[in-house]
Every structure is written in C-alpha cells, then in structure tokens.
Amino acid sequence: MNMEREEAFRRARAWIAQAGDHHIDGKRVAGSGPRIAVVNPATGEQIGSVAGGGAAEVDAAVNAARDCFRSAAWRDMLPATREALLLRLADLVELHAAELAAIETLDNGVPYPMALAMAGKGGPSAIRYNAGWARRLGGEEAAPSVPGRWHAYTVNQPLGVAGLIVPWNAPLAIACNKVSAALAAGCTAVLKPAELAPMTCVRLVELVHEAGFPAGAINLVNGTGPQAGAALAAHRGVDKISFTGSTVTGQGIMRQAADRVTRISLELGGKSPVVVFDDADLARAVPGVGMGIFANSGQVCAAGSRLFLHDAIYDEFLERLAGFAGSLKIGPGEQDGTMIGPLISAAQQAKVADFVAGAEAEGARVVFRSEVPDGPGYFSPLTILDQVHPDMRAVREEIFGPVLCVMRFGAGESLAELIERANDTDYGLSAYGWTSSLERAQVMARDLGAGSVKINGSGMEFALPFGGFGQSGLGRENARMGVLAFTETKAVMIGY
C-alpha cells in the first residue's frame, strides 16, 4: 500500500517535471511566452513549469476546436460513440487514479487520500454520469395550435466551442465534470487550467487523447487568468464559457460576454449558512459541520462558513467541534495521516490570516485555533470564531480558508427570523441544516436561499443540479441541466 503510494509520487514528480505544455490540436505545444512556475504549496518548492499562453495560443486552440467541431467525423459521430469514448476516459482516469492523486497533492496541496477519492471515485463517476446523457439529449414534440398540418419539435444541438475555465481548489474534479459535460453534449472545447494548480488538467487532456477522442476535441492552453483566461473569454470563436472561480472574475467574464452575447455558466463563491438545532444528532452533526468548513482547508465554494447554533447546545457543540478540529492532523498532503493540507499560496495564506486578524480587532473571540506545522508550507490554522457581527468582513465575504464564524440563535426567535439571518448574504450557493424535526427540515428546504440545501449531511450528488442563487453564479452544472447547458435549443416546424 505505502509502496504503491511512494511509486505514485515518484511517477507524479517525474511526469510534472517534463509536462506543462499546451495541448493544441492533439499536439504538445511549448508556446513562446515565459513559463510559469508550478509550486508545491506544502513546501514552497518549484516542481515544474507550465507554458505561459496568451492570445496566440488561445487563437490556435480555439481554431483547432472549431475545425474539429465542423469536421464531418465529429458531426457524424454517433452519440453512442461519444458515450463509449467518455466511458473509456472514465476507465483511464480510474486506472491512473494513484498517479493523478499524487499530481494533485503535489500541485495544490490536498491530502492524498482525498485526492485519491476524487481521482478514483468522484472524477470517473462524474464522467460516467455525463456519458449517459450523450444518448439522451433528445428534444420534445409539440402539439401546435396554428392552422395547418405541422410536425413541430425541438432539438438540443451542441453550442459549438466551449471555453472551460477551471480554478485551483479542486482542479481534477472540476475539469472531469466540465470536459465530460461539454463532450457529452457534442461540443468541442478549450480548457484553461488555473495557473496555481494546472497539472491534473494537463494529465486529463493526455487521457482524453488516449481514450480516442479526435485531435482538437479538447485543447488546453496554460497561462495566467489575465492573459490566457481573458483571451479565451474574449475570443470570437468561443460560443460558451463555463467558468468556476471567484465572483469578481466571474463578473468580468459576464461583462465581456455581453459584447457577443456569449453563453455563460458561472460557478462562483459562497458564504454558506449551517443551522444546527438542539434536536440534531450531534454525533453526526459535529464531524459534518467540521469537515464542511475544514475539508480542503476551507478552499471549497460550498463550504459551510457561517454556523448558526442553537442556544441550548451552544457550549457543548462548540466544545465538541473544537475537539474534532483538534483531532485533524495538519501537514503535507503527501504525509501519511494528514487530514488537512496547506492553502494554495502564500497570498491565500496572508488573505486568510488578515480576515481573522480583522475579525479579532473588531471584537470576535477565538474559540479555537489549531497548531500548524513549522516550515515553508502555506499552512493555515483551523479557526473557530464567535461573538461576530453580521456586518463583519469575515462574516460577509468568502474567506476560502479554514475559518468558521459562529452565531447564536434560540430563545424567543422564530424559525422565519432565523432563516432571515441565514439568508442575509449576497451569495446563495449552499445551505445546510441539522435537525431531527421533519417540520424544520421542510421549512429550511423551502426557505433557505441557496441553489443546494442539505439537511443532515454534506457532499455533492451528480444527479442533482449544482449552482448558485444571487452572486454565487448563473446556470447549473451536473444533472441533465448541466449537459443541456452546452446545447442550444432549436424549434422546428415542418408543414405538410
């Protein structure tokens, strides 16, 4: 087992050291711009580099995607063939899960067991789920009431070339999802990884080719957001941008998309509420709430970062939560037993620390703060704050770090008032409730303002759409909706 793991890291290191080029029209392209360092956030060491693409590489990649999209081979490919190719891709991801996981751990810091769960289970499962839609995207027949004899129906046609912009917090999982949804719908695509953790995207594109997709179906351009990302979002040959990342960058993409009314899907930030009632099963709620904010060091768009705790269990819950947080081993993701890795970068580390310092200066109390390992990695203490006010920056803004803000409710407060407090956010990605009352569960499910509401649990289900209310985004990924988001609906009437 451990030898297998060591071997995976050895191979991952060797692969990273020589990969990092663009992949355009089925070929590796080094590009001309200065290369960007690939850094292991657990050590701060450079472990490789990626090409620094810009407008020229994006243009070549979009043209390759467009040529492939227009080709007879792609147009005439049977949906069943696309499905079969995607199923082969899922098998390849699964087969290479240990190596992919090691690459992810080295590049973005996620603990190896979590990376392995993504590469070995979550990723392949998402690809297989989307593969199934390739053959099930048919439209519907209408019964027109205009005079005459008509055959009236809809078709869901692929949009064309999709630009897929991926963030650094869970690159492989997000790329598996976006790539498979685009291909299932019949689009071709240009993938733009995050410059802070690009490597699993590059490996995934190699596997896309190994699976047998034609050259140009999926292209990859490395580079920074302002250079490669912006060039992709602005390109006239791109029909759809599917973006996951910060709200600010998403807003910029939305503005840019207005020029050509480019289709967009935006998965943005969150500040998701968690409500724990005094009738909750605390044995499940404590680790559920804890992992909901601390998993992936809080670098999760759907992290439950605002905890509303019932008066009657307030002290007990916080004590148990602190105990749980204290049991989570922080360290390099490569190390055996690590549950929490570093943050992605020194900048992210400073940003998180600044949020906490700001809250403390405004009177927040530190209920718990964990020890962090010494050394050069970008580790951040797991932090629980209470005595916070709803207008503090730490309560309003996405921290994207392991910081939980706790607020009290109970005594004389109605469920409606509580829900109003939980909904007091510009975001609306997810909301979580813990209770054994069917009544409270139903009311929370109905009234919490979020794209996903989970009662007594957390995690993601591909068969359900995922996306945000408010400033958490636009459109939905996953489920049938997520694949249809890469199509345009056409209405057809044939008179006879």
Cα–Cα distance for residue pair 184/129, rounded to 1 Å: 10
* Binding to Mg ion in span 313-372, by CB under 5 A: none
Cα–Cα distance for residue pair 66/419, rounded to 1 Å: 48
Q: Are strands 141-142 and 45-50 parallel, antiparallel or unpaired?
A: unpaired
CB of 451 to Mg ion, least distance (A): 29
DSSP count for the chain of H helices, then E strands: 18, 20
Catalytic residue annotation: 267, 301
- Per DSSP, 329 falls in state P
Place of tokens 């360290």: 331
Buried b (16+ CB within 10 A) or exposed e, 223-255: bbbebbbbbbbbbebbbbbbbbbbbebbebbbe
Residue nearest to ligand NAI (CB): 225
User: Binder to ligand NAI among 269, 304, 451, 482 (CB under 6 A)?
Assistant: 269
In the complex with ligand NAI, which residue's Cβ is closer, 348 or 435?
Answer: 348
Q: Are strands 304-310 and 22-24 parallel, antiparallel or unpaired?
A: unpaired
CB of 139 to ligand NAI, least distance (A): 32
Q: Is 495 helix (H, G, I), strand (E, B) or coil?
A: strand
Query: What does the block give as tokens for 294?
Result: 């601390």
Query: What does the block give as tokens for 245?
Result: 């990342």
* Binding to ligand NAI in span 191-210, by CB under 6 A: 192, 194-195
- Which H or E run includes 367? strand 365-369
Residue nearest to Mg ion (CB): 107
Q: Is 274 helix (H, G, I), strand (E, B) or coil?
A: strand
CB of 232 to ligand NAI, least distance (A): 7
In the complex with ligand NAI, which residue's Cβ is closer, 184 or 300?
Answer: 300
Residue 197 touches which of ligand NAI, Mg ion, none (CB < 5 to 8 A by kind)? Answer: Mg ion
* Binding to ligand NAI in span 451-480, by CB under 6 A: none
Cα–Cα distance for residue pair 342/331, rounded to 1 Å: 7
User: Given the rule CB under 6 A, which of 183-191, 229-237, 290-298, 317-325 is the region that contacts ligand NAI?
Assistant: 229-237
- Per DSSP, 469 falls in state S
Cα–Cα distance for residue pair 226/210, rounded to 1 Å: 31
Site string for ligand NAI, 300-339 (x = CB under 6 A): -x--------------------------------------
Cα–Cα distance for residue pair 138/141, rounded to 1 Å: 10
User: Binder to ligand NAI among 26, 139, 252, 373 (CB under 6 A)?
Assistant: 252
In the complex with Mg ion, which residue's Cβ is closer, 159 or 201?
Answer: 201
Query: What does the block give as tokens for 348?
Result: 């992210």
In the complex with Mg ion, which residue's Cβ is closer, 47 or 443?
Answer: 47
Residue 112, interface with ligand NAI (CB under 6 A)?
no
* Binding to Mg ion in span 194-213, by CB under 5 A: 197
Answer for the pair 321, 293: CB distance below 8 angstroms, yes or no. Answer: no
User: Binder to Mg ion among 19, 39, 183, 274 (CB under 5 A)?
Assistant: 39
* Binding to Mg ion in span 253-282, by CB under 5 A: none
User: Given the rule CB under 6 A, which of 19-27, 190-198, 214-222, 432-440 is the region that contacts ligand NAI?
Assistant: 190-198
In the complex with Mg ion, which residue's Cβ is closer, 122 or 341?
Answer: 341
Q: Are strands 188-192 and 161-165 parallel, antiparallel or unpaired?
A: parallel
Q: 459 burial class (0-12, 13-18, 19+ CB within 10 angstroms)?
A: exposed
* Binding to ligand NAI in span 332-361, by CB under 6 A: 348
* Binding to ligand NAI in span 116-175, by CB under 6 A: 165-167, 169
In the complex with ligand NAI, which residue's Cβ is closer, 165 or 179?
Answer: 165
Please give the residue ranges that form the binding site for ligand NAI (CB under 6 A).
165-167, 169, 192, 194-195, 224-226, 229-230, 233, 244-246, 249, 252-253, 268-269, 301, 348, 398, 400
Residues that bind Mg ion (CB under 5 A): 39, 107, 197
